[in-house]
Structure 1
């Protein structure tokens, strides 16, 4: 397999980071988690109310340098709209590597709500959205996704196998 950019999109609580955590050592890949970058920005710039696309821009720069160096990169974020998704496509094109666009969904609303309501942050200081926050979040389904993973149907290990198969 040649190094690729694996771009995730999906609402909070669907399982993106869980899948990325399992996938990164399997490839191996650099795992760029937007939540980590944005939390660092919040801590170092507490006067800012809105981070805008800064976390995505930082992650994109790090992704490009790692792709050029020959590494797999996993871009793990909500990627809610075309604007953020296009950032990753531009990086893959600039680095001249393939991009696998993966939308992670949870088709079982009860399971999804349970995950959101019962998860604990694994990033110090990160405030996770509640269920209402997830429901009210702007998110456009990713029609251009190459692969759609439904975590109501697949375990994290099964999702990893589906992604690895798609990369081959």
Structure 2
């Protein structure tokens, strides 16, 4: 299966994705890691020019894993439909389900604290400011998806429950 976890920076995507992938024995593909590698290798000159390249690399890696019979979880913002569409098409090509999980954090103060206080866990990863996160526009998610609020409760258990339904 293909699992796509999306949401604004700082909502807890990577934290939840790591735990869900581990619980399911799925490969965890983090688009941030692909984007940082592109910059580190000098394949793109600045973060502003990364564009869809990180998503394209994650898509290729997901295709390789799915071909080998490995479940895949992709972790990225997925703020526009154009970023989500290729992953839906990939699942169709493989004849497998795609499970969409959109993470939100309804506690604005907590979300801001996470954005402002979290350390970069990838060398060279430049994290967005709270102002950049708030200014980001997210397209409507038209694909059937589960919304998990990371402001309270156990978002990993909620995500796993949604995947098992």
- Structure 2: which 5+ residue stretches go unaligned? none
Q: Secondary structure at the match of 2:99?
A: strand
**Partners of 2:36 and 2:111 in 1: how far apart?**
23
SS at match of 2:113: helix
Per-residue CA deviations over 1:44-79 (Å, capped at 9, x if unaligned) read 126523012111111101101111211110010000
Write out aligned runs for 1:98-137 (5 A).
Answer: 98-137=97-136
| Structure 2 match to 1:161 | 160
After TM superposition, the structure 1 stretch with the greater mean CA deviation from structure 2, 88-97 or 143-152, is: 143-152
Judged with a 3 Å threshold, the aligned counterparts in structure 2 of structure 1 residues 80 and 47 are, in CA distance, closer, same or farther, namely: closer
What residue number does 2:137 align with?
138
User: What SS does the corresponding residue of 1:40 show, helix, strand or coil?
Assistant: helix
The 8 Å contact of residues 67 and 97 in structure 1, kept in 2 or not, is answered as no
Give the unaligned 5+ runs of structure 1: none
Q: Distance in 2 between matches of 1:66 and 1:123?
A: 23
Show the counterpart of 1:35. 32
RMSD: 1.5
TM-score computed with the length of structure 2 as normaliser: 0.92
* Structure 1 residue 23: Cα displacement: 1.0
Q: Which residue matches 2:71?
A: 72
